């Protein structure tokens, strides 16, 4: 950061032209050990970029609070932030359904290895489910974005209830 961006985070925003996707890609490319959240599924590379996608959203929130003066564009291009909490909530409400084998592993708190087919599919299915929910809500709530819906689901997932099922257990640096 010191060399490439003169020690200033604002330089990243300048290079990305305050574009949410540009910020995500800059972070993933220039700080891969922290932001390049990529997995392989069969013969495909799957780019989740969970941490990197959180950054433009946080900057936008700080702008709304009057703390920073950067307006971040194209926040609607971000996806859900694939982690462990949102799929737990989506499963609770029947939006995500797991195979009996996977459900058994999750219910018995058996670790799902990071980068495994199961873990990648849980994360990808979460993103897709949130996209479908967002699409369904758009006619009623035109300002709905996947990132906003993800945030609502994440906060709702923090409220414990007796019928909660466990979340999937994965040791990873990505979420």
Closest CA to 74 of 58, 57, 49, 50: 57
- 142 half-sphere exposure, CB direction, 13 A CA radius: 0
Q: Within 10 A of 119 (CB to CB), how many other CB atoms are there?
A: 22
> Tokens 């926040």 correspond to what residue?
75
Q: Measured between alpha carbons, how far is 9 from 146 in angstroms, rounded to an integer?
A: 25
For residues 55 and 68, is the Cβ–Cβ distance under 8 A? no
Number of H helices, E strands in the chain: 8, 2
Output the 3-class SS for 144-158: CCHHHHHHHHHHHHC
Catalytic residues: 83
For residues 36 and 29, is the Cβ–Cβ distance under 8 A? yes
C-alpha gyration radius of the chain: 17
């Amino acid at each position: 950061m010191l060399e490439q961006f003169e020690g200033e985070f604002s330089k990243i925003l300048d290079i990305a032209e305050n574009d949410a996707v540009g910020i995500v890609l800059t972070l993933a490319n220039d700080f891969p050990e922290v932001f390049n959240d990529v997995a392989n599924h069969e013969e495909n590379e799957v780019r989740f970029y969970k941490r990197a996608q959180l950054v433009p959203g946080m900057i936008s929130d700080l702008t709304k609070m009057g703390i920073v003066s950067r307006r971040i564009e194209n926040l609607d291009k971000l996806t859900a932030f694939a982690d462990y909490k949102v799929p737990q909530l989506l499963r609770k409400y029947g939006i995500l359904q797991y195979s009996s084998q996977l459900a058994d592993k999750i219910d018995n708190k058996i670790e799902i290895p990071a980068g495994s087919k199961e873990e990648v599919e849980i994360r990808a299915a979460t993103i897709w489910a949130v996209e479908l929910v967002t699409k369904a809500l758009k006619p009623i709530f035109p300002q709905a974005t996947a990132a906003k819906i993800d945030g609502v689901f994440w906060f709702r997932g923090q409220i414990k209830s007796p019928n909660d099922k466990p979340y999937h257990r994965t040791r990873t640096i990505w979420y």
